Structure 1
Amino acid sequence: MRHHFVPLTFVAMIAIGQLGCQPPVASTQQSVNGRTSQLKPREAPLLNEAVFFEQLDEASLGEAAGPAPLDPHTEINSEPCPRKTHEDLDATLWMQTSAEYYATCRQTYRLAATQLQNAIDDPTWSADLVQQSALAESTDTPLLPTAVILDIDETVLDNSPYQARLIQTDEAFTPESWQRWVEEAAAEPIPGVHEFLTSAEKAGVEVFFVTNRENAVENATRRNLEKLDLIQVDASDRILSKRERDEWTSDKATRRAHIAKRYRILLLIGDDLNDFVSIGNKPTAQARREIAVEHAEMWGVKWMQLPNANYGGWERSIYDWNDSADDEVKLRQKYDALNNASAE
Structure 2
Amino acid sequence: MKAQLISITALLLTGCTTTSAPVASAPTAPAAISAEATKPPVALQYLYGSAEAAMAVRATNARIADYAAARIKQRPIDSVVLAPGATMNAPRFVPCGTKPFAAVFDADETLVWNVGSMRYFAEQGIAFDPKIWDQWEQTGAGKAVAMPGTVEMLAELRAAGITVIANTNRTAANAKGSEDTLRAAGLGEFKHGDTLFLMGDDADGSSKDARRATIASRYCVILMAGDQLGDFSQQFNVKDLPAAQRTALAASPAATALWDKGWFLFPNAAYGPWEKLGWDDTFPSDTKWEPK
Classify the TM-score, shorter chain.
Answer: 0.7 to 0.9
1:197 to 151, 154, 164: 154
3-state SS in 2 of match to 1:152: coil
Q: Which of 57, 64, 68 matches 1:105? A: 57
Match of 1:92 in 2: 44
CA distance in 1, matches of 2:137, 2:92: 37
Going from structure 1 to structure 2, the CA distance change for 1:301 and 1:169 (only over 3 Å counts) comes to same
Taking only aligned residues, the RMSD between alpha carbons, in angstroms, comes to 2.6
* TM-score, structure 1 normalization: 0.64
Give the 3 Å change call, closer, same or farther, for CA 220–343 of structure 1 in structure 2. same
Compared CA separation, residues 145 and 172, structure 1 to 2 (3 A): same
| DSSP 3-state at the match of 2:79 | coil
Q: Is this contact kept in 1: 2:33–2:125, CA < 8 A? A: no
Q: How many residues align?
A: 242
- Deviations 1:88-109 (Å, cap 9, x if unpaired)? 7111001222111000000000
- Matched-pair contact (CA < 8 Å) for 1:270–1:304: yes
- Taking CA–CA contacts closer than 8 Å with sequence separation of 6 or more, which of the two structures ends up with the larger relative contact order? 2
- Answer whether contact 2:145 2:185 (CA < 8 A) is retained: yes
Among 206, 212, 219, the alignment partner of 1:263 is 219
Identify which of 249, 252, 263 aligns with 2:208.
Answer: 252
Q: What SS does structure 2 have at the residue aligned with 1:122?
A: coil
8 Å CA contact retained: 1:214, 1:241: yes
1:162 positional shift: 2.0
Q: How does 1:180-329 map to 2 (within 5 A)?
A: 180-184=135-139, 185=141, 186-232=143-189, 237-246=194-203, 248-279=204-235, 281-282=238-239, 283-294=241-252, 295-316=255-276, 318=277
Q: Does 1:133 align with 2:92?
A: yes
Once the two structures are superposed, what CA deviation does each residue of 1:46-91 show, in whole Å capped at 9, x if it has no partner? xxxxxxxxxxxxxxxxxxxxxxxxxxxxxxxxxxxxxxx99x7111
Q: Distance in 1 between matches of 2:190 and 2:244?
A: 42
Which residue of 101, 116, 119 corresponds with 2:68?
A: 116
Amino acid at match of 1:153: D
In structure 1, the gaps of 5 or more residues are 1-36, 41-84, 319-333
Give deviations 1:247-299, integer Å, cap 9, x for gaps: x4211111111111121101001000000122253123222212210111211
Q: Distance in 2 between matches of 1:234 and 1:314?
A: 32
CA distance in 2, matches of 1:224, 1:38: 27
Q: Is the contact made by 1:92 and 1:160 (CA closer than 8 Å) also made in structure 2?
A: no
Alignment of 1:159-178 (within 5 A): 159-178=114-133
Residue type of the partner of 2:100?
A: P
- Equivalent of 1:146, from 101, 106, 130? 101
Instruction: Work out which of the two has the higher radius of gyration on C-alpha atoms and give 1 or 2.
Output: 1
Q: Any unmatched runs of 5+ in structure 2?
A: 1-30, 85-90
